[in-house]
């Protein structure tokens, strides 16, 4: 007796059913993946701006607490953009200010405001990356009831540049206010 082999395969109706299910399932899945990717990207940008701003404020705080003299007569305080000039522990003049720099982006050139530090006669260096825009940098004096300088209040407003679109800014911004107490040995000039 001869056995007949049954060839089992996928029918046209089954194939159409699979395609219909994929058409229903794939678009929401792809949209969800795109949303998750955007959220991760935004979180990465926000984390970067927070880290960068924390490092800036940490360095400024360290330098200010070691300062021997705050040159309030030469600094531009209470305005934005502000300039802070002080003497460090070695007697070098330190200047922190906001400078404009033009950067090239695919959507065109953009002016970015960056924080810059100058130590004595050494060349100036930037405290912020070229894709971070310091929208506000203000330094205010803090005085006690006897009008003696006891601290400095820093206001920093930073936004990230967006090189991939015509919109110059990404949706990431940080506004920080911090006050640094001066050491008793720090004088005002």
Q: Tell me the pTM.
A: 0.74
Separation of alpha carbons 46 and 170, rounded Å: 10
Q: What is the pLDDT along the chain (189 residues), one digit of tens a residue?
A: 556 666 677 788 989 999 999 999 999 999 998 888 877 777 777 888 888 888 889 989 999 999 999 999 899 999 989 999 999 989 999 999 999 998 887 767 888 899 999 999 999 999 988 888 999 999 999 999 999 999 999 999 998 877 555 555 566 788 999 999 999 889 998
105: its two tokens: 């982006």
pLDDT per residue as tens digits for the range 71-88? 998 999 999 899 999 999
CB contact at 8 A, 136 and 115? no
**Residue 186: other Cβ atoms inside 10 A:** 20
Distance (Å, whole) CA 155 – CA 141: 12
Q: Cα dist. 26→15, 21, 123, 188 in Å?
A: 16, 8, 56, 67
If residue 65 lies in a helix (H) or strand (E), which one and from where to where?
Answer: helix 12-65
Instruction: Give the domain ranges of the chain.
Output: 12-188
DSSP states of 5-56: PP-----HHHHHHHHHHHHHHHHHHHHHHHHHHHHHHHHHHHHHHHHHHHHH
């Amino acid at each position: 007796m001869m056995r007949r082999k049954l060839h089992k395969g996928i029918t046209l109706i089954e194939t159409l059913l699979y395609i219909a299910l994929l058409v229903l399932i794939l678009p929401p899945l792809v949209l969800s993946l795109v949303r998750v990717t955007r959220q991760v990207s935004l979180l990465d940008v926000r984390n970067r701006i927070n880290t960068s701003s924390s490092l800036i404020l940490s360095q400024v705080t360290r330098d200010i607490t070691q300062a021997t003299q705050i040159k309030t007569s030469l600094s531009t305080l209470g305005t934005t953009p502000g300039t802070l000039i002080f003497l460090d522990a070695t007697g070098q003049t330190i200047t922190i200010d906001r400078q404009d720099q033009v950067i090239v982006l695919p959507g065109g050139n953009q002016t970015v405001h960056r924080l810059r530090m100058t130590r004595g006669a050494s060349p100036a260096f930037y405290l912020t990356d070229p894709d971070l825009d310091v929208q506000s940098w203000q330094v205010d004096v803090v005085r006690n009831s006897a009008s003696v300088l006891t601290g400095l209040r820093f206001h920093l407003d930073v936004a990230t540049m967006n090189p991939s679109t015509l919109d110059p800014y990404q949706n990431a911004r940080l506004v920080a206010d911090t006050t640094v107490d001066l050491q008793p040995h720090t004088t005002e000039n």
